Amino acid sequence: MAASSSLASSKSLLGGRRSDGVSGLGFRQPSDLRRLSSSAIQISIRRWASLPARRLEVRAGGDKFGKHFEVTTYGESHGGGVGCVISGCPPRIPLSEEDLQFELDRRRPGQSRITTPRKETDTCRILSGIHEGMTTGTSICVFVPNTDQRGHDYSEMSIAYRPSHADATYDFKYGLRAIQGGGRSSARETIGRVAAGAVAKKVLKMYMGTEILAYVSQVHKVVLPEGVVDNETVTLDQIESNIVRCPDPEYAQKMIEAIDAVRVKGDSVGGIVTCIARNVPRGLGCPVFDKLEADLGKAMLSLPATKGFEIGSGFAGTFMTGSEHNDEFYMDEHGNVRTRTNRSGGIQGGISNGETIYMRVAFKPTSTIGKKQKTVTRDRQETDLIARGRHDPCVVPRAVPMVEAMVALVLLDQLMSQTAQCGLFPVNPALQQQIAPDPNETLLTPKLV
């Protein structure tokens, strides 16, 4: 009886109608307040009572990324289209749809037998923010239409949850979901990220010659040995020379065979994408909560199917002593402070030190598979499910441009933050030099290419 009375009081408190007529949080009667027997709350409510009535609003988050170079993605797998809106892009940057299309073509489905057979050209249109081939500094809107939807493939999945997919959790959170294609949980959402990342890559390249490259370093149990690929010299052409995007031909073939082996069985495998960023300006990242590796970690783990992230030595560093792990400093022939090793992965204290940044991102096996699995229906009945639809047997080959894009978004956002805070006045030439053949170059000296 006591529990029932307490519940009734809670409903009276939380389900009330305020003086401005809005349903929701509020009190029905002054006696509701007395029943709480809390003078602190009474004082708080009286203080609010003197203020003009306002409507309570809850804003849903999760569609925006970045603070200065802000990207909002929109659209769903089986809707009219997908894309992004970029706010804060610097003006006077040469930009065309071809710049974006190059990256989108690396991400698009239907590239080879080891990717989803869905056929989409992913042809982009820039709707705003460009004039005579240059960015204007205003918001850039990019749109990519969906043209090859098959909603009927999802009839079984409209009733039963796919194991390890977002079907169930979207229902748990929202009470409904977009069934065809998985809605916002579909990897087609990443089109907006890749388009925005193409813009960020171009700005970073112009400013400092920054280059961001990712490649597949593991598929299932096929692991590219450390040292086989030189992160200081690996090129985009080497990465793009095969359908799995591994720069070593021998291991690339082994990875392709591993994907083929599960593909024909209706199963899937995961893997690891390694990403490097060369010629990154020093000083990116802020102490405590906005450390550069913290932003990179959030960016990577926001990608679909990601389950792990490590930077520099990562978890392997736990097997080393301090004397083994520390990156000792030295002076190079140009008078630059450098490190002899790079176990820190180009970041120390959450701030870039100018060395190559490298990280690894783990992707789980694709959850939608053609094998029979145990699951439950939306009305809580146990059942079996054989999922239909067109899905990647391994996501890592197409994840490569997605990882690169998110790294670019983080680096440009942090660069703009650094310029806003520390670039207002002349830099300290004794301490703030960038790594360059000419030691007189500083953070404020862009390299136009």
Indicate which CATH number applies to the domain containing 222. 3.60.150.10
Tens-place pLDDT, residues 281-325: 999 999 999 999 999 999 999 999 999 999 999 999 999 999 999
* 253 band by pLDDT with thresholds 50, 70 and 90: very high
Per the prediction, the chain carries an average pLDDT of 85
For the ranges 224-233, 327-336, 352-361, 436-445, which has the lowest average pLDDT? 436-445
What local confidence, expressed as pLDDT, does residue 445 receive? 40
Contacts of 211 (CB under 8 A, 6+ apart): 205, 277, 278, 279
- pLDDT higher than threshold 60 for residue 241: yes
Residue 249 has pLDDT above 60, yes or no: yes
Nearest-angstrom CA–CA distance, 69 and 60: 20
pTM of the model: 0.83
Q: Give the residue from 401, 424, 428, 285 showing the smallest Cα distance to 354.
A: 285
pLDDT of residue 184: 80
Q: What is the mean pLDDT of residues 264-268?
A: 92
pLDDT reported for residue 412: 98
Dihedral of CA atoms 362, 368, 373, 374 in degrees, nearest 10, equals 90
Residue 186 to residue 206: CA distance in whole angstroms: 33
How much is the pLDDT for 439?
44
For residue 33, tell me if it sits in a domain. no
At residue 80 the predicted structure's pLDDT band, cuts being 50, 70 and 90, is confident
Place 20 in a pLDDT band, splitting at 50, 70 and 90: very low
- Asked whether residue 18 is assigned to any structural domain, the reply reads no
Encoding tokens for residue 379?
């009305």
**Cβ contacts of residue 315 below 8 Å, gap of 6+?**
none
Which range has highest mean pLDDT (71-85, 170-184, 428-442)? 71-85
Residue 2 lies in a domain: no
Q: Which of 115-119, 416-420, 423-427, 443-447 has the lowest mean pLDDT?
A: 443-447
DSSP-derived 3-state class of residue 63: coil
Is the pLDDT at 232 greater than 90? The verdict is yes
Residue 388: pLDDT band by 50, 70, 90 thresholds?
confident
Q: Which residue has the tokens 């112009």?
A: 206
pLDDT of residue 166: 86
The pLDDT of residue 34: 44
In the chain, the number of structural domains is 1
pLDDT of residue 158: 75
At 187 the pLDDT is: 84
Residue 407 in domain: yes
Structural domain of 416? 64-422
C-alpha angle 100/103/108, rounded to 5°?
110
pLDDT of residue 50: 57
- Give me the pLDDT at residue 404, please: 98
Tell me how far apart the alpha carbons of residues 282 and 442 are, in angstroms, rounded to a whole number.
10
Per residue in 27-70, pLDDT (tens digit) is 444 444 444 444 444 444 444 455 566 666 656 678 999 999 99
Q: Is residue 26 part of a domain?
A: no
pLDDT in the model for residue 17: 45
3-state helix, strand, coil in the chain (%, to 5): 35, 20, 45
pLDDT of res. 180 = 65
| Torsions phi, psi for 275 (to 5 deg) | -130, 140
Q: What is the mean pLDDT of residues 194-203?
A: 98
Residue bearing the bigger pLDDT, 243 or 188: 243
- Give the whole-angstrom CA distance, residue 143 versus residue 159: 31
Look at residue 91 and tell me if it is in a domain.
yes
- Is 22 part of a structural domain of the chain? no
Residues 108-159 pLDDT 10s: 877 788 887 767 788 999 999 999 999 999 999 999 998 865 555 556 667 8
Q: What confidence score (pLDDT) does residue 153 get?
A: 55
User: Which letter, b or e, does each residue of 287-321 get, where b requires 16 or more Cβ atoms within 10 Å of its Cβ?
Assistant: eeeebbbbbbbebbeebbbbeebbbbbeeeeeeee
Report CA dihedral (160, 390, 72, 102) to the nearest 10 degrees: 170
Q: Please identify which residue in the block is written with the tokens 């009305």.
A: 379
206-215: average pLDDT? 96
77-91, 148-162, 273-287, 403-417: least confidently modelled range: 148-162
Question: What percent of the chain shows pLDDT beyond 70?
Answer: 80
The per-residue b/e assignment along 405-444, b for 16 or more CB within 10 angstroms, e otherwise, is bbbbbbbbbbbbbbbeeebeeebeeeeebbbbeeeeebbe
In a domain, 181, yes or no: yes
The reported pLDDT for the residue numbered 181 is 62
| Residue % of the chain over a pLDDT of 90 | 62
